[in-house]
Amino acid sequence: MIKIYRLQDTAFTHADVVNLFKDSFAQWTENGLGSILLQFTPSEFAEKTIDAIVLVAVDDEKNILAGTTTMTIHHSKNERWAYHKYLAVKPDYKCKGIASQLLRSCIDIATNSEYGYILSNTSVDARWSVNWHLKNGFKKVGYYSTTTSNYFSYRFRYQLKSPSIWNCSFFTDIVFCFSYLKTRAMRKRDGGLTWFGNSVIKVLGFLKIL
């Protein structure tokens, strides 16, 4: 029986979670994808999640840490929203609904606290994770590249409050298309600027001087 707890309410530690990342994200390394999670030390992870809600999925019968995820809270002018990060399930426990169970707990917390939406992201090449997001009701709303990874990423949004324009697939498809075209024109997969991106930055710099 899998149960979801906050990390601080269990006997598991940040070191146990970091070990879980190592097992779970081996799937990324095998597919040529780098993940920053594999470099975390327990104290770095503790520091990064100091203001976050860290959830763990525990196999209560065997006392095994089967999965984890975190959620951080952000504020914009008019609303509060959450960022869903560091989702990982132990290899033996994959495809049993554990990640979905973790997300359900995040949604319950976010809904009770009246957050507007949940954002998440993943590599476009991590098809297991992309499928998981789409299966669980996230919509693709962005496409980006950063210098801290060697791949393009999708940004996903799970809309909690409705009615909202973000519930309209036509609208989210248009937002995604713009983001995709902008990123592919401006950025390379390692986050560096393309020839076109460089030219745009130079022209903008020149116009600023004028």
> Closest distance between ligand COA and the C-beta of residue 59, in Å?
13
Minimal distance in Å, beta carbon 91 to ligand COA? 8
Which residues contribute to the site for ligand COA (CB under 6 A)?
A: 24-25, 27, 87-89, 94-100, 122, 126-129, 131-132, 135
| Distance in Å, CB of 203 to ligand COA, minimum | 36
Q: Which is nearer to ligand COA, 79 or 108 (CB)?
A: 108
Collapsing DSSP states into helix, strand and coil, what is residue 192?
coil
Q: In residues, how long is the chain? A: 210
Question: Minimum CB separation from ligand COA for residue 24, in Å?
Answer: 4
The alpha carbon dihedral of 137, 143, 144, 150 has a sign of positive
Of 69 and 172, nearer to ligand COA (C-beta) is 69
- Our CB check for ligand COA shows the closer of 26 and 181 to be 26
Contacts 24+ apart (CB under 8 A), 125-132: 125/31, 125/32, 125/33, 125/151, 125/152, 126/27, 126/28, 126/31, 126/33, 128/27, 129/87, 130/154, 132/99, 132/100
Nearer to ligand COA, 89 or 160 (CB): 89
